Structure 1
Amino acid sequence: MKDKQAMPSDNNLDLVIRNAEVVTASDRFICDIGVRDGKIVALGQSLGNAKEEIDASGMLVLPGGVDAHCHLDQPMPDGIRMADDFFTGTRAAVCGGTTTVIPFAAQEKGGSLKEAVMDYHRRADGRAVIDYAFHLIVADPTPAVLNEELPVLIQEGFTSFKVYMTYDDLKLSDREMLEVLDVARRHKALVMVHAENADCISWLTEKLINEGNIEPRFHGLSRPSVVEREATHRAISFAELVDVPILIVHVSGKEAIEQIRWAQGRGLKILAETCPQYLYLTAEDMGLHGDHGYEGAKCVCSPPPRDPENQKAVWHALANGVFSVFSSDHAPFNYDDPKGKKLGGEAQPFNHIPNGVPGIETRLPLLFDGVRRGKLSLHQFVELTAYKPAKIYGLYPRKGTIAVGADADIVLWDPNRKVRIANSSLHHAVDYTPYEGIEVTGWPMTTLSRGEVIVRNGEYLEPTAGRGRFLKAGQPEL
């Protein structure tokens, strides 16, 4: 059996987890887990005594989740402010079974990418409860950024960066996309792509606004599936031209999935990610076929939620290996907030509503419920939420598995616990959850980060803010 090692009784272990039914991306076995100095040092039977012991009988013991796409305390334009900083965001993450997060250091147009990283370190230092790495967001790929800053940052452990094909303050031209992809090819980094056609969205938005259609429900009509499908195909074509892997983020439905599956079938290294909103929310939640008033703003994100048929396509693609990563895309904007969804304290036209939904704490339970309903296997759950994100973003084998030598990031799951999701029970700083009232089966009960119990029997233990460590990412393993 993989990675098992018996140890003598006088091993001076800090912690032993007894009777652990361990599940990784490929294996399932029962053993004791020995931890010393924050690392897993033994997997075996009847390990010796330790300073602390946990009995995992009746639980599933899984690797801590890796949320490879979330936004925390990210600088925003026009008076917008994210509700979660690195403390409240990582607190919520660990309460949901996630022990590593990878948010974004975002460059502003006209600004330095290196300065954006320095600013993001300042925002994280002394705040994070769990370990974290950074992706970069490249919004202004000047010659200095491409030839000087990016290569140096890649060598310093920032081996993944995101580019946008939409949003005026972030989008790149086709030529700029090719230039960024070329840097990634030469320096063995990974580019993540937000794939939506900006001109199509702008044209549709202008038509809707001119016709007086400004409510949140029209957000979905301004970003139909075709704008995601076209941009996904174009991004794939760029990757093929440059001969470099890419990862398409937050894929919302069947039309983009068809493009990705087509590319994968041709042997192209096209990876993909999806998120809980595309499994549990639909256009109805924005009020597309009814009048939900401004409440629909709570579900405004891009690409938007679609319909039950597209939900089925996303579940199917998760089970069939089209997706490598399942992330939250946590974008924490308060609803009733003049710096959130109600900018200036007023309802806004749909094109001015801050895009994104919270979900860093509910990501894992929502997908685990799919395991309980037979939509994917438990091994696939671990692969999508921990193992593959850690490998793809250069954090494996330190993160993403339970093995000798890995960090002791471990979660004890009660697979039978039924929980009705309520914002009042969550630990983020957002004033709502779009998943309010959804009942799931299976919940993380006890969570360890580097061997320290952070959540015990569902109770957050208030560890020291700032105990989380910055992780330098290695070369992506694709």
Structure 2
Amino acid sequence: MKEFDVVIRNGTVATAGDTMSCDIGIDGGKVAALGVSLPEGRSEIDATGLIVTPGGVDAHCHLDQPMGDGSEMADDFESGTLSAAFGGTTTVIPFACQMKGQTLRAAVTDYHERAKGKAYVDYAFHLIVSDVNESVLGQELPALIEDGYTSFKIYMTYDDLKLDDKDILDVLAVAKREGGMTMIHAENSDCIKWLTEQLVAAGCTSPKYHAASRPAPVEREATHRAVTLAEIVDVPALIVHVSGEEAIRQIREGQARGARILGETCPQYLFLTADDLDLDGFEGAKYICSPPPRDKSNQDAVWKALQSGVFQVFSSDHAPFRFDDRKGKKLKGDHACFNHVPNGIPGLETRMPLLFSEGVMKGRIDLQRFVQLTATEPARVYGLYPRKGTIAVGADADIVAWDPKREVTLTNGLLHHNVDYTPYAGKVLTGWPVLTMSRGEVVCRNGDLVAQKGRGAFLPCDRPEYVKANRVA
């Protein structure tokens, strides 16, 4: 009988569809067998008392993304993927961002150079489409989809990124024709601009007014419009980083009408509120992200939407800007107006532990739903399933072992990102990843790094199942 490279024994194995007590045989970096009392492997891992899940797929994170305002992201592909691995994530999908006047292909080429030789875990790329023209729509975007860059994000806000409704319709039409997945940042840009002008004129410039400049109706209107535009083109679309009930209602109603609208939310909308923006001094700038955190009732609404299936994806939206840094949150000074603070918070390493502790261990969701949200559905939505996102024969052996009894108090010093704070400091979590394996190789174990940087591989993505049937020949 064939000897396996690695056998993981005695764990409780959870997938999106089942939980079982079994051994996992790994050969050539792939799952080769699931069974009881498998033959001995060249290497043995005892998972007694541990819960074994597929490695996480963080389908929305920003690493070493070029910025147009002089700010710099703190995490590149080395520190970002290291942080991901220690948090149980084995695949990341950051963004190759097209700057105005730049070709999409040039953005992709640049991003490959930024990633080269640095990653600890595997990675794919989304595109950010910010400059829509005949060449992008007719040549570049179709060619890049064919080459494995099958998902792209578009913005309804931010002056240097936003598209108008006609441009969005044009991009959605390409997605329908070519089989791509469109991600939409849904906030009404003109409303934000008007509200910001009113606040600044009144002298309301501290971080807490970031939330006042982007209230729930701003997100609700844009979400309604994004859903409507996708319905008009009759194409799937995913609304990213949804913050609360008003936007959730637009997605849920669209889904009920039969629109193929998918939803994503993030830890900040479960664990932070607008009150975090109102800390003493400039501390609230640490929590500036868009859309902003809402209130406790909206947190409850996000939990309910996670439970009920409105959301398919749970991502970090990791946007790593250091706080005490002139290229980070203090880009414009120690007391800058809220609209001059780089948007985003770190969360790659804490995404899965937060949901495991507060979701699974507190009975809000079961293990199957945890796996769906953090691994299986992100892989499916973005064309990486079944290679990624599951524990099944033939899948990459991307595996995480969780100690459900381990209690951890989050501190920034515990984490491996290059950011000087975590927004979740002091939170006590129950359950922690104690082993992360990527393609059959242990990356980290019991807090120690085992693998070498550069082992992570780029993953071209297939056209997702969500859009294959929709594609127009």
TM-score normalised by structure 2 residue count: 0.97
**Pick from 343, 349, 360: which aligns with 1:355?**
343
Q: How does 1:434-449 map to 2 (within 5 A)?
A: 434-449=423-438
The share of aligned pairs that are identical, in percent, is 63
Task: Verify: 1:399 aligned to 2:388, yes or no.
Answer: yes
CA contact (8 A) 1:286 1:292 kept: no
User: How many residues are matched?
Assistant: 465
Q: How does 1:72-87 map to 2 (within 5 A)?
A: 72-87=63-78
CA RMSD between the two structures: 0.8
Structure 2 partner of 1:410: 399
CA contact (8 A) 2:332 2:340 kept: no
Task: Verify: 1:37 aligned to 2:25, yes or no.
Answer: no
Q: Tell me the alpha carbon deviations over residues 31-70 of structure 1, each in whole angstroms, 9 at most, x when there is no partner.
A: 1111111111111121112211000000001000000000
User: For residue 449 of structure 1, what is the amino acid of its counterpart?
Assistant: S
Shift of 1:346: 3.1
Q: How does 1:367-378 map to 2 (within 5 A)?
A: 367-369=355-357, 370-378=359-367
Taking the aligned partners of 2:270 and 2:183, their CA distance within structure 1 comes to: 21
Structure 1 partner of 2:469: none
**Runs of 5+ in structure 2 lacking a partner?**
467-473
User: For residue 399 of structure 1, what is the amino acid of its counterpart?
Assistant: K
Task: Verify: 1:459 aligned to 2:421, yes or no.
Answer: no
**Pick from 451, 456, 465: which aligns with 1:468?**
456
User: For residue 473 of structure 1, what is the amino acid of its counterpart?
Assistant: C
Taking the aligned partners of 2:449 and 2:308, their CA distance within structure 1 comes to: 35
Shift of 1:297: 0.3
Taking the aligned partners of 2:331 and 2:125, their CA distance within structure 1 comes to: 28
Taking the aligned partners of 1:156 and 1:445, their CA distance within structure 2 comes to: 36
CA contact (8 A) 2:332 2:341 kept: no
User: For residue 351 of structure 2, what is the amino acid of its counterpart?
Assistant: R
CA contact (8 A) 1:337 1:345 kept: no
Taking the aligned partners of 1:464 and 1:118, their CA distance within structure 2 comes to: 24
Structure 2 partner of 1:133: 124
Deviates more, 1:59-68 or 1:372-381: 372-381
User: For residue 155 of structure 2, what is the amino acid of its counterpart?
Assistant: Y
Taking the aligned partners of 2:333 and 2:205, their CA distance within structure 1 comes to: 17
Q: How does 1:29-428 map to 2 (within 5 A)?
A: 29-287=20-278, 292-369=280-357, 370-428=359-417
Shift of 1:344: 5.0
Taking the aligned partners of 1:477 and 1:389, their CA distance within structure 2 comes to: 12
Taking the aligned partners of 1:58 and 1:313, their CA distance within structure 2 comes to: 33
CA contact (8 A) 1:412 1:447 kept: yes
User: For residue 52 of structure 1, what is the amino acid of its counterpart?
Assistant: S
Taking the aligned partners of 2:443 and 2:342, their CA distance within structure 1 comes to: 32
User: For residue 124 of structure 1, what is the amino acid of its counterpart?
Assistant: A
User: For residue 45 of structure 1, what is the amino acid of its counterpart?
Assistant: V
Give every structure 1 segment of 4 or more consecutive aligned residues whose post-TM-superposition deviation is greater than 3 Å.
Answer: none
Shift of 1:418: 1.0
Taking the aligned partners of 2:40 and 2:217, their CA distance within structure 1 comes to: 60
Taking the aligned partners of 2:41 and 2:462, their CA distance within structure 1 comes to: 33
Shift of 1:460: 2.3
Instruction: Give the match's secondary structure for 2:282.
Output: helix
Taking the aligned partners of 1:319 and 1:344, their CA distance within structure 2 comes to: 40
Structure 1 partner of 2:439: 450
Structure 2 partner of 1:433: 422
User: For residue 367 of structure 1, what is the amino acid of its counterpart?
Assistant: L
Taking the aligned partners of 2:280 and 2:126, their CA distance within structure 1 comes to: 36
**Pick from 9, 23, 29: which aligns with 1:18?**
9
Q: Tell me the alpha carbon deviations over residues 128-183 of structure 1, each in whole angstroms, 9 at most, x when there is no partner.
A: 11000000000001110110100000000001000000000000011100000000
Shift of 1:386: 0.3
**Runs of 5+ in structure 1 lacking a partner?**
1-7
User: For residue 316 of structure 1, what is the amino acid of its counterpart?
Assistant: K
User: For residue 281 of structure 2, what is the amino acid of its counterpart?
Assistant: G
Shift of 1:237: 0.6
Instruction: Give the match's secondary structure for 1:191.
Output: strand
